[in-house]
């Protein structure tokens, strides 16, 4: 049987859902022991998607739709405004490379 972590890491799930790694471990254990009724419904849906081999893009989109809080959107907008305002003083290529490297490490 394919497990949840065959497709997505614990660290990814933690970050995508804004939940701690111990909580993710607990939920995976419940899911894999067929105790889905003990999971939050949205987590059961997410794990079903993962178990059915959904693409990473679909998983990330689902998590963004379900778990991204409004204040995170506001934080992102603030970061974008700062990048625009100070782009002449920033090494944008270095920032871009940092982001891409962080994404590769997942």
Per-residue pLDDT at 70:
56
Which residue from 17, 49, 15 is spatially nearest to 31, judged by alpha carbons? Answer: 49
Per-residue pLDDT at 106:
54
Which residue reads 């079903």 in tokens?
Answer: 48
Torsion of CA 52, 55, 56, 57, to 10 degrees: -130
Per-residue pLDDT of the chain (106 residues; tens, 9 = 90+): 568 888 899 999 999 998 999 999 999 999 999 998 899 999 999 999 999 989 989 999 999 889 876 566 777 888 899 999 999 999 999 999 988 888 876 5
Per-residue pLDDT at 1:
56
**Model confidence, pTM:** 0.64
Contact 7, 50 (CB under 8 A): yes
4 Cβ neighbours under 8 A, 6+ residues apart: 13, 28, 31, 32, 47, 50, 51
Alpha helices by DSSP H, listed for 1-106, are 10-17, 21-32, 41-51, 56-67, 70-85, 92-104
Query: Rounded distance, CA 68 to CA 62, Å?
Result: 10
Per-residue pLDDT at 27:
95
Boundaries of every domain in the chain? 4-67, 70-104
């Amino acid at each position: 049987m394919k497990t949840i972590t065959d497709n997505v890491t614990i660290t990814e799930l933690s970050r995508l859902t804004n939940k701690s790694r111990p909580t993710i471990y607990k939920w995976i254990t419940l899911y894999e022991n067929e105790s889905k009724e003990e999971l939050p419904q949205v987590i059961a849906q997410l794990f079903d998607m993962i178990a059915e081999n959904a693409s990473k893009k679909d998983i990330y989109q689902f998590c963004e739709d379900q778990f991204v809080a409004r204040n995170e959107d506001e934080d992102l907008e603030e970061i974008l405004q700062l990048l625009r305002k100070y782009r002449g003083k920033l090494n944008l290529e270095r920032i871009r490379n940092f982001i891409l490297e962080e994404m590769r490490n997942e």
